Amino acid sequence: MGGQGSRLAILRASAATPALPRTEGFPRLRPPMTIAIAIRTGSAVVFAADSKITTAGVVGVEEDGSPRWQEQTYDNATKVVRDRSGSMMAMVAGHANIGQMAAPDFLSTKDFRLLPEPQEGAEEKLGRLVAEMVEQKRAYWGGSQVPPEQWRGPTVLFAIGGRIANPPRIWRVDFDGPAAETSEILTQPGIWLDGSYDEVFGLLYGFEPSVAQGLREPLDVPADRFHEATRTLRVLRPIDKLNLWAMPIQDAIDLAVFLATVQVQMDRFLPGTPACGGPIDVMVLQTAPEASFVAYPGKVVHHPHRPGYND
């Protein structure tokens, strides 16, 4: 009746496709560690992340006076955690630390429901938690010679539910630099990718970011026009075909782990140092029959001569 164009518009609306990652024509100077997948369905939020985590410190000074960074990675980190009250879950991507403390450890010790005024809403409580994390980062870096714009910090996805937020709300907070940048994401069912996600992006959107830029530049197409063209295609991308509103929790978990595993394995086989790896940990915020947070770890702490599990 309405033609193919209107049908595509309806399908795109039902898929609730999130905005494309915020990049200038898609390139990134250096992919951050971690593959972090967030999926929102009609009744749940699923977080899935790998186990490779990065820390960084200043080990010297370059000839031009700038700090010399040295990074170190570990392959058994838990990057998806919940607070002590079961009101909030968080997923960490990129650099691990807030000051000297690992961000997942810092967050898992908090009682979000009581932080600090019980009657406050989700947005106010998150603002107070973010401010506390910024202060901890400032206390660590403030005494150093590192310029504030180079202060390292993680990207954290927060999902808040239960009595504090019903339906759940999800935020992304970037702690790089002297402050923090907070934005609400996934206000309806959709998929959010964070960390190092180029290959998974290509799987969902039909093109890999660097390939897209390689096509855009010789054609002299401005970045804003290219972005708009990708959002108004007259063909459905794989992500547009997913019916996330009705997807059961188990299938959403399967999808999140599949996407994370694809990125881990592509990093394994492509040249260069892998940006992600290790077992995939999952946590779910479900809203039915009642709000609850359920963890599905991909690993356990174990004696080094006896392996943990990853199934």
**DSSP conformational letter for 114:** G
CATH classification at residue 169? 3.60.20.10
pLDDT, average across residues 159-182: 89
In a domain, 302, yes or no: no
Q: Dump the DSSP string for 245-293.
A: SS--HHHHHHHHHHHHHHHHHHHHHSSS--S--SPPEEEEEE-SSS-EE
Per-residue pLDDT tens over the stretch 38-85: 999 999 999 999 999 877 677 888 888 877 878 778 889 999 999 998
Residues 6 or more apart whose CB falls under 8 angstroms from that of 118 comprise: none
Res 237: pLDDT: 92
| Residues shown for the chain | 311
Q: Does residue 174 belong to any structural domain of this protein? A: yes
pLDDT value at position 32? 65
Q: What is the mean pLDDT of the chain?
A: 84
Average the pLDDT over each of 188-197, 220-229, 292-301 and give the range with the smallest value.
220-229
The pLDDT confidence band at residue 169, using thresholds 50, 70 and 90, is very high
Residue 193, in any domain of the structure: yes
* Residue 9, pLDDT score: 40
Note the Cα 42 to chain centre separation in Å: 20
88 near 298, Cβ under 8 Å? no
Chain segment 77-115, per-residue pLDDT in tens: 999 999 998 889 999 998 888 888 899 999 999 988 766
Please tell me which residue, 167 or 261, carries the higher pLDDT value: 261
pLDDT at site 59: 81
Q: What is the mean pLDDT of residues 136-140?
A: 91
Residues 204-262 have pLDDT tens digits of 999 888 888 888 889 898 988 888 888 788 899 999 999 999 999 999 999 999 999 99
The per-residue pLDDT for 309 is 62
Is the pLDDT at 119 greater than 70? The verdict is: no
Reported confidence tier of residue 24, pLDDT bands at 50, 70, 90: very low
Hey, which of 141-145, 181-185, 232-236, 303-307 has the most confident mean pLDDT?
A: 181-185
Q: Is residue 77 part of a domain?
A: yes
Q: Residue 22 belongs to what domain range?
A: 3-296
Q: What is the pLDDT at residue 26?
A: 34
Q: Is residue 45 part of a domain?
A: yes
Q: Considering its fold, how many domains does the chain have in total?
A: 1
Q: Is the entire prediction scored with pTM above 0.75?
A: yes
What's the pLDDT at 213? 84
Instruction: Write b or e for each residue in 130-157: b if 16 or more Cβ atoms lie within 10 A of its Cβ, otherwise e.
Output: beebbebbeebbeeeebeeeebbbbbbb
Whole-number pLDDT of residue 100: 84
In this predicted structure, the answer to whether residue 181 has a pLDDT above a threshold of 90 is yes
Decide: 253 and 296 in contact? Cβ < 8 Å. yes
Report yes or no on 303 lying in a domain.
Answer: no
For residues 170 and 154, what is the distance between their CA atoms, to the nearest angstrom? 16
Longest dimension (CA), the chain: 68
- CB atoms under 10 Å from CB of 171, counted, come to 20
Q: Is residue 65 assigned to a domain?
A: yes
Is residue 304 assigned to a domain? no
